[in-house]
Structure 1
Amino acid sequence: MAELQCWRKMLDKFSIFDLIVIAMISALGIASKPLIVPLSHIITGPLLIPGGVVAGGFYMLWIVLGAGIVGKPGTATLLGIVQALMVFGSGIFGSHGAMTLLSYTLPGVAVDLILYLIKHKVCCPACAFLAGLTANVTGSVLVNIIYFRLPFVPLMLALSVAALSGGLGGIIAFRASQLVNKILPWGKGFKGS
């Protein structure tokens, strides 16, 4: 009962519009993953590092984008939870099995935590870069623990690539959130009727 009240209290700070944005961005993130991962294997295959470290820069940008558009604490965590539930609901467990819940949720938690600590809301390229970097490195560490268990040197190479691709994804998310926020009702550029 206490857990239900905790969830309700968390969700009360989000409007219906916020929740729709979160659901749509979660769906886009899940839909983009199968398209991006095979392309990233072309780059990472010769380096003998997991393809997800490069692809993660693209699909983690959705978490940063959601945090930038909604702009409320907990958005990235909620995006991760919704993505994990979508993966379970669609029956696509992937190679992570039940650990999917952690591997999708914890990058969102990491984004919320880093934005809270630096007191930013995906409001500048630097915080967006850091948010994307944090999300992708967190996801890469989790996948390494769950699945790959790389030795130290390849792990450091993989995490370095994950940091760079995640940071670049964060900058793309920042630019996209600026464009989207110009047309949304709370944005400066909205010209609604």
Structure 2
Amino acid sequence: MNLMQKFLDRFSLYDLIIIALLAALGIATKSIIVPLAHIITGPFFIPSGAVAGGFYMMWLVLGFGITGRRGTMTLIGLVQAILVIATGIVGSHGVISLLTYTMPGILADLGLFLIGHRVCCLPCSFLAGLLCNITGTIMVNLVYFRLPLIPLVLSLSIAALSGGLGGMLAFKILEQIRTFQNRDQNVSSNQ
């Protein structure tokens, strides 16, 4: 428990609020986007999360970009898992949700750690989203679908593209947030 406390002590209250808000936004958007994506993916036997995941995994990447703290994507995934278990909303895999929701954050955090980036540029944001969505697609495939090789490769390819685009979208949103912050600082210093 002491190790977990040391890990959490690295995050400010502001960071934890951002993590909680983005986790909730991810779950809220997932429940809207996945059914819509299923209309397109259902006939092709592709899990709808592979396509829609880019949008709801975007929140993990955005969270890390805002806080700048390693482990943010893992925490967002963990909070999402707790939310779906506690509320029983669509997307809950029961207690397995702790694994299926947290692993994308773990792998993306690890990937960015290995390359020494922190959602600081478009390529690393693309990679973070890609890692999140591929990992999520693999986890759901292991738990539920167990797709044959060809549909699995197709599903993972779509997940990679969708996740990467979601990571890029997160980076573009982050650029806008930083632009507004800089503008506010300039206005405050001129007064």
Aligned length: 187
| Cα distance in 2 between the residues matched to 1:23 and 1:94 | 18
SS at match of 1:190: helix
**Which residues of 2 match residues 90-101 of structure 1 at below 5 A?**
90-92=87-89, 94=91, 96-101=93-98
Instruction: Give the share of equivalent positions with the same residue, in percent.
Output: 57
Provide the residue aligned with 2:182 in structure 1.
Answer: 188
Please list every run of at least 4 consecutive aligned residues from structure 1 whose deviation after the TM superposition is greater than 6 angstroms. none
Please report how far the alpha carbon of residue 182 of structure 1 lies from its aligned counterpart in structure 2 after TM superposition: 3.5
Q: Determine the structure 2 residue equivalent to 1:139.
A: 136
Give the distance between the partners of 2:156 and 2:23, measured in 1 at CA: 24
Q: TM-score, normalised by structure 1?
A: 0.92
Tell whether the 8 Å contact from 2:31 to 2:90 is kept in structure 1 after alignment: no
Q: State the secondary structure of the residue aligned to 1:52.
A: helix
Using the TM superposition, give the Cα deviation of residue 189 of structure 1 relative to its aligned residue in structure 2, in angstroms.
3.5
Distance (whole Å) between structure 1 residues aligned to residue 174 and residue 89 of structure 2: 29
- Alpha-carbon contact 1:93-1:100 (below 8 Å) kept: no
Q: Letter of the aligned partner of 2:121 in structure 1?
A: C
User: Greater helix percent: which structure?
Assistant: 2
Residues 38 and 31 of structure 1: CA distance in aligned 2, closer, same or farther (over 3 Å)? same
Q: Deviations over 1:99-136 (max 9, x none)?
A: 11111100000110011011111111100001100000
Root-mean-square deviation (CA, aligned residues, Å) is: 1.5
With structure 2 as the length reference, what TM-score do the two structures score? 0.93
Match of 2:53 in 1: 56
Map of 1:6 onto structure 2:
3
SS in 2 for 1:60: helix
User: Aligned residue for 2:115?
Assistant: 118
Query: What residue in structure 1 maps to residue 21 of structure 2?
Result: 24
Counterpart check, 1:89 vs 2:86: yes
Aligned residues of 2:104 and 2:135 also touching (Cα < 8 A): yes
Matched, 1:75 2:72: yes
